[in-house]
Amino acid sequence: MTASRSGLQRALGGLAAMLLLTACQSNGATPGAGSPVPTEPTLPTATSTAPEPPSPTGSVYVALGDSFVAAPLVPKTNMTHGCLRSDHNYPQLAVRELAGYELVDVSCSGASSAEMTQPQVVGGVEHPPQFDALSDDVDVVTLGIGANDFSLFSFLVYRCLNLAGTDRAGSPCRDSYDQDGANRLLDQVSEIQGRVESVVAEVRERAPGARVVLVTYPKFLPTWGVCPDLVPLAKGDYAFVREVTLALVEAQKAGAEAGGAEVLDMYAASEGHDICSDQPWVNGIDTDPSRALAFHPFPVEQRAVAGLLLELLAG
């Protein structure tokens, strides 16, 4: 078995088991097969509906976003309704220190900007649009979104790992997206800025009195160096993945600021805590059932976000 095949199967095993393939389907095809042009995922069919969160009675904090908010497998994770939301994700940790606040956490693994305004189906369960949690009564909103738009995260994980064995020393993933002097994946990332801006603007419209904070993704890879046991990319694709993830974070920040939100820059805050580091905040390719899904945040990252969020809100 080749290293790339082994790495891909390890990633698939963790991700598929946790239902994140809901966000990884591209018009019915597995990422990495056929054309590398990212497209929006095909929506699955629901067999049941998730229960609505209870109505809060005090000050209200609403958490919106994807798996980097939900924190799948950070103990204890609710496995019942498919969103894989942890009771120790950063919204849960932060609200415990916000006197008089009640949390409405509607974050859901696999969510893109589209699921802010349309239902999301995961594990056969239909979840209402996340924006349904917003109202004039909301005081604080945090948002983490962008990596699932155009199935971006899925393409980075699946396609780049799948191609690594074809040219272990080169950059086969970057090469597969390069065309006519441009890179199609980076072109898609540039469009995410506008989506984030639109999402933030609508949050402010639906919750006009709320303080809105966009929480960026953390740093996945070190500025220099590789760690193939944890992230089995082709050596030359480390620079490509760094470029894409930094571009994504910059798109998040620019979109949030243009839409009128504050920004909590976890990319900067996680310097020295990338996957390859001695004290990582994000898991590598092997899912740890007691701590984190593959390529998702460890409990320590969620604690760090919560602490920095509380500092920001206190300012």
Which residues share a beta bridge with 144? 65
Catalytic-role residue among 81, 127, 273, 296: 296
Q: CB atoms < 10 A from the CB of 224, how many?
A: 9
Q: For residue 140, what are the β-bridge partners?
A: 61, 211
In which element (H, E) is residue 303 found? helix 299-314
* Plot region of 5 (φ>0 → left; ψ -120 to 50 → alpha; else → beta): alpha
Determine whether 296 is an active site residue.
yes
Nearest to 90, CA basis, from 290, 274, 310, 271: 310
Q: How many other CB atoms are found less than 10 A from the CB of residue 269?
A: 18
The verdict on whether 81 is a catalytic residue reads no
Catalytic residue (choose from 67, 113, 171, 277): 67
DSSP string, 27-94: TTB-TTSS-----PPPP---SEEPPPPPPP-SEEEEEEESHHHH-TTSSSEE-SSSS-EETTSHHHHH
* Residue 159: Cβ within 10 Å count: 24
Q: DSSP states of 105-174 as a string?
A: E---TT--GGGGTS-EEETTEEE--GGGG--TTEEEEEEE--TTGGGHHHIIIIIHHHHHTT-TTS-HHH
- The conformation of residue 216, written as its DSSP 8-state character, comes to P
How far is Cα 90 from Cα 92, in angstroms, rounded to an integer? Answer: 5
Closest CA to 126 of 113, 152, 108: 108
Cis omega (within 30 of 0) for bond into 219: no
Active site residues: 67, 296
